[in-house]
Amino acid sequence: MKKFFLIPSITLLMIACNSGTDKKTELENLKKQEAEIKSKIIALETELNQVSDSVQNGIAVSVLALRSEIFKNYIDVQGRVDADENVAISTEMPGTITKINVKTGDNVSKGDVLAETDARTINQSIADLQINYDLIAQIYEKQKNLWDQKIGTEVQYLQAKTNKESMEKKMALLQQQLAMTKIISPINGTVDAVDIKLGQMVAPGMPAIRIINFSNLKVKADVAETYASKIKKGSEAIVYFPDMEDSLITKVNFVSRAINPATRTFLVEVLLDGRKEYHPNMVARLKANDYQSDQPTMVIPVRTIQKDENNATFVFVAENGIAQKRLVTLGKEYGGKAEIKSGLKENDLLVTLGYDVINEGDAIIYKK
């Protein structure tokens, strides 16, 4: 019976010991957390005190050390990709398509036969005419030989010659008609579209096959006549293709001298240097350089420029930790930047952030 009372006693003792151990562990963890929190509090108080000291010593701003550069201004217009050799070919003679020799994407050369229409009637006429021509040619040769020997009359010779020449003209006409049954490429290029099918009836003027020469693509744009004296052949141009997120730097290749009386614009063209990844009629943005400074000058962000109560234009610069007001003379503005004609010099520290909360003579702290 004593053994039965002993077992519960041991169990209760073990539970009590385990409970005491858990509380000690929990206490140690809380002390560690308390130490970490105190450490963070001290670090934050130190940082805040440093910021407070900085504010007391000056107003925090950002500055930019100025460097001279060439300022460029561009006009921005919408253009389009065009190809000088972009041809929709049709048949010269009505008929039924009997053969198509190309498919889209094929490269072709000038003179290649792209498709053919039914030419059986013309071929039969040529065959019949050839028989008559052979006979008339033989008669002519015999009559010519006799005439050379002073045999026969001149009228007989001239009649035989006329018959032969008339037959040759008829044969040439039929050969021309036979050639018109063939759709022939007039340029070197790539087949962009085939709009005909075997057995289809076609007629002159009906688009059949389109050929494009992608090696001479260009961008064309209409520019307001205001810039007629500013954009010239050879001017720098930047072409941006928004659909492809692609751009290239090139030069203006052609500037029209004529002004369109309806739109008051003139045509500007830029070559794409044989690049074939672009497509005719694709939208493009053309930026043509219409102004460039004669020599390097100061160029600053437009947002830093302010005006005082006298409508004078000025900026703030940092000199030995003090904000100084500088009157400036503006030139052109483009792309969020302004050309400065006077008032700033190389290595000046322009205030670019915080310029709207300082006054002349304020103590400032900054980081280049």
Q: How many CB atoms lie within 10 A of CB 225?
A: 13
Residue 31: per-residue pLDDT: 76
Burial 174-210 (b: 16+ CB within 10 A, else e): beebeebbbbbbebebbbbebebeeeeebeeeeebbb
Considering the domain architecture, whether residues 265 and 300 belong to the same structural domain is answered as: no
Residue 307: per-residue pLDDT: 92
Give the pTM.
0.59
Considering the domain architecture, whether residues 318 and 361 belong to the same structural domain is answered as: yes
Which residue, of 244, 263, 292, is where some domain finishes?
292
Mean pLDDT score, 229-236: 91
Q: Which residue has the higher pLDDT, 99 or 28?
A: 99
Mean pLDDT score, 27-40: 78
Specify if 12 maps to a domain.
no
In terms of residue numbers, what domain contains 334?
A: 60-71+296-367
Q: What is the CATH number of the domain that holds 252?
A: 2.40.30.170
| Bridge partners (DSSP) listed for residue 76 | 287
